[in-house]
Amino acid sequence: MSDEQEALAVRVSMRDIYSEVQRQGKLLEKIANSLPDSELKIEDHELRIRKLEMRMWQAIGAFGFLAAVVSPLIAVLTR
């Protein structure tokens, strides 16, 4: 290699790679510890979805009941 090519070359040793991986691991752990507890959020969302589903079935039942009661009533009144 000429002196000019050697001056432009970058050498990365295994030690450099290892230290960077260690630094990235510490950073990732720090970020993970700063995040809110996701399990509590997931449980909260599941409860909210269950409540919405329950309300949906209640609404379907109420509309079905109204249809069963109002249809014959309208039929009687239109005679």
Please tell me the number of Cα atoms within 13 Å of 19 on its side-chain side: 5
Tell me the CA distances in angstroms from 34 to 21, 27, 30, 65, 69, one per residue in order: 20, 11, 6, 51, 56
Model pLDDT for residues 36-52, shown as the tens digit of each residue = 777 777 788 888 999 99
How many whole angstroms separate alpha carbon 76 and alpha carbon 57? 29
pTM over 0.75: no
Residue-range definition of the domain harbouring residue 50: 3-77
Domain count, the chain: 1
pLDDT of residue 43: 80
